[in-house]
Structure 1
Amino acid sequence: MARATTKSTAAKPRARTTTPKTTTAKTPAVRRASANPAAEAPKHVVISETTPVSDELELRKAELIEMVVERSDVKKRYAKPVVEAALEILAEALADGRELNLKPLGKVKVNRLKQLSNARILTCRVRQTPMGENDANDPLAEAAE
């Protein structure tokens, strides 16, 4: 028996590329005519950069538990239920639309919530303070001696 083969004519989607947004910064010194033509060229300033999304940057629960064990010097059998319980509490709070203010993670605010048949999509904004800056009002901050 001969097998009939079919050829798909559907076009493959093109890869989506993003380019950084740039703006031209013009100063009064640049607008003036000068003898140096290089000084007249507008300077481009990068406003925001795009970061590629990769699986290598993804932090999984098993890796998080290992990192907690390393930092806290607690046995894995004690750390695992605590980390899992904390993740469940955070997930429930975000699902309820609550804001989280957890230092050093930062302030997490749910902007949009969309319920699908098999998932819930949360669009969140995270605001972090720069690492290493201790807040004087933080009750858990270490006192300077």
Structure 2
Amino acid sequence: MSCTSNPFWHDPTKNELILKGIVTAENKHTDVPISIWMESFDQYTITDSDGNFSIPINNSQSGTGHISGPVKIYFFIYNYNLDSATVFFTNGELSKDQTDFSTNGDLIKRVELTKILSGEMEFQLLENRFYDQDTVLLTFDG
């Protein structure tokens, strides 16, 4: 929790920074939420059923003052390739020069995680028992 106002004199109110966007699995193939982790802040969240996420940044200060520079945000779901985006800070605020996020914290492009491995197994049995003429077919994509 962080302060957004000063109780002793009238400093301008500090706006809470929020990063948000949409992350989905390839072909929206799974209903499992995607994990999102923001390094340096150790913030973690998951997507909702439509792939939306929101990460409030309550404290953009480090032990030595306001954070400046790039911070990676990682997107992960089991059996899918890891992806990431970078957000840039200047003196604890979102920088004007961004590559993956807008200056108000919106992810510019939807992230779609690609599946690492998928497959199917098919049995073609002549009867209810295996014989040497029976076929087992394994197919893997990825």
Alignment TM-score, normalising by the size of structure 1: 0.23
Higher strand share: 2
Higher helix share: 1
Alignment TM-score, normalising by the size of structure 2: 0.23
Structure of larger gyration radius: 1
> Using CA pairs below 8 Å that are at least 6 residues apart, which structure has the higher relative contact order?
2
